[in-house]
Structure 1
């Protein structure tokens, strides 16, 4: 196993956690420039109408790609929290474990973090607890270039560079393009449709499988 390097993601896809389950530790990039139309501020869920994206609006989106991802502010002038929560209730309110996790998720929304990075980190820590993933989470101190991430004690070797998974997963689930987020998790029962839909947020697996969700990651 090795360490992983990812960007933070909003309700990350299942494939994110499937990778993490086989890692020693997770490094989160804090010095990359924000990129639009990525999992940084969106997730994909399954509704009666098919795959639906949920997107967190950010402030000054026109110039956001010149801002560090860790400094991107959430735009609370838009009523996105209410919209996202109502959509989740409609899509997953009838699943076996929605009520089991709903209050915890609602509390994270109610904290109203100013930064997208803070929201994503709170969600990530929550999901790791739910999935019983105990790998340590580190934040990069500078932009990671693929070199070793630090040095050990005097006379000890430096820490090997983590496996770079930044922007490895993309929210293009409305296409038939193959990708890691479409092939890394075995099929499980879903609420809508006859055919299994891959590439979804961890929400889909967690609401359907509950405490057993972690067993689908190995």
Structure 2
């Protein structure tokens, strides 16, 4: 391995890593914020909205993210909507991630004893407090491992953004290789960077899980009467 060659291009790889990290974090935040309320709505009695939501999740989970990016990058201009490449990457990755996160959050919420929800509703506790204080604290340990897996997939999925000229890690690595014809060092370094980023996500999720486990063992859910009194 030529360490001098690797050291020459390492700053460029680090800049590309920043783009990958930003794209991952933005996608994670947006997809989580959007999917959380939709997952709650999707658990209600069947109606037109929940049916449309089911159709959306099925549709988006069936389409490769690359096709979604191509649609927004090459297809939407025909309709008069031209978005910057980074915005297209965020929209495409977020739409795909939302579809998976909705199902992930639903699976966790379905594991919560519905009797607790019904008892809280009978006591007149505001619905938003039921979800925030009762449902989600118990659902999070259930869906967190799958959510982490999806977060890792989002991280790796950012590599498809290279197709629409986003200078993320995979795109820059390929560009360096095409210029120097020395793939070994660059590709090994890129792989290690992805491992580090994925490991960071795993450490964060493990810390959150430990915190939730301690919280649940200490009694994370206040009694319904106490919640009603404080409401």
TM-score class, shorter-chain normalisation, is under 0.3
TM-score normalised over the length of structure 2? 0.24
> Of the two, which has the highest radius of gyration?
2
Q: Which has the higher helix share?
A: 2
Higher relative contact order (CA 8 A, sep 6+): 1
Q: Which has the higher strand share?
A: 1
